[in-house]
Amino acid sequence: MNVIVCVKQVLISTESLKLTGDGKIVEKGMSYDINEWDIYALEEAILIKEKYGGSVTVITIGPETVDKMLRGCLAKGADRAIRFWDPFVEGSDGFILAITLSEIIRLFEYDLILFGAQASDDGCAQIGPMVAQILAIPHATLVTKLELVNNIAKVRRELENGVDEIIEVDLPAAFAVQTGINRPRYAPLKGIMQAMKQVIPTLCLQDIEILGHPSGNFISRIQLERLYTPEIIRSALILDGTTDEATDKLLAVLSDKGLL
């Protein structure tokens, strides 16, 4: 069972993000780490490898600063890590990233592609399904359980209002996994020592067949207009007194605002 895991590095901050005047994130003093959902996707891939054999390939898009994250994935048990970087992807929308990832994935043999259900920074939750569409394979999102039997995946999905569904999906397929699907391991020291010796191949635009992609013009269709911190306006009015008095006051307030 060959599994590909797509991971993303995100900003980690204990405080709110600071923005420059023109709406760019101040990255000075910020730390980065792997997206939380992707940790579960990686663990699921390693568990599958441990159970059925095969390999785990981790893929990400990012500059050199993502190498620590990739070495962390290798330390936990991934067999190889691939980093793609080309200036054109910087600031691209999800669709461009999905096309890029799909073309990287086409370079490898795979039975399963795993994603985190969403990224903690932009929360778009769309890369997994888009990659599946581009590669023309079935997919499922919000996966909380994954069992593999004879080239079929039995998948439990977490729906709204406390309802789950179980579906069967033919492989190869792509799944976006939810946190809690497993209990992620920590990187053993031995794994870190080995990972530090591994070479992380870096791909760029020339390495993938992307220019002639049927998506047409290779330009983001979504443009960021503004990034800003919303103004905090807290307005609270405490209506004290007995229930009758408070009710009268409430009616007066609503009446003043023309809501009655």
Partner 1 sequence: MQKKALPTKVKIVIIGGGVIGTSVAYHLAERGCTDILLLDKGELGHGSSHRAAGTISKLGLTASGVEIMKHAWRTYENFKKEGDIDLHPNPYILPLWQNNPGYYQQYLKEVVNILKSLGSTAKVEALSAEKTKNIVPEIRLNDVEPGLGNVLGAVMDWESVWVDPYLLVMAYAKRARKLGVDIRTRIEVTGIIVKGGKVKGVETTAGQVECDKIVCSAGPWASKIGKMVGLEIPVKPVRRVLIKIQKKEETKDKWGQYQDEPGSHEKRKGLWIRHDVAGFVGSGTHEIEGKDEAVDPDNYNESYTYEEVIDFATKLDQQMPGFGEFDVVDGWAGLYEVTHDSNWIMDKAESPEGFYLICGFSGEGIHASAAAGLFASELILDGKVKCVKDPSLWAYNSQRFPEIL
The nearer residue to partner 1, 15 or 160, going by C-beta atoms, is 15
Report 13-32 residues binding partner 1 (CB under 8 A): 14-15, 28-32
Select from 136, 232, 259, 260 the one that contacts partner 1 (CB under 8 A): 232
Pairing mode of beta strands 152-158, 164-170: antiparallel
* Binding piece for partner 1, criterion CB under 8 A, among 7-15, 118-126, 163-171, 173-181: 7-15
Interface with partner 1, residue 187, by CB under 8 A: yes
Q: What track of x and - describes contact with partner 1 for positions 47 through 86 (by CB under 8 A)?
A: ---------------------x--xx--x-----------
Long-range pairs of 188-197 with CB within 8 A, sequence gap ≥ 24:
188/75, 191/74, 191/75, 191/76, 191/77, 192/71, 192/75, 194/74, 194/75, 195/71, 195/72, 195/74, 195/75, 196/71
CA atoms within 13 A on the CB side of 173: 21
Q: What track of x and - describes contact with partner 1 for positions 155 through 184 (by CB under 8 A)?
A: ------------------------------
Q: Which string of b and e fits 94-113 if b means at least 16 CB within 10 Å?
A: bbbbbbbbbbbbeeeebbbb
Judged by the rule CB under 8 A, the positions of this chain that interact with partner 1 are 12, 14-15, 28-33, 68, 71-72, 75, 185-190, 192-193, 195-196, 232-236
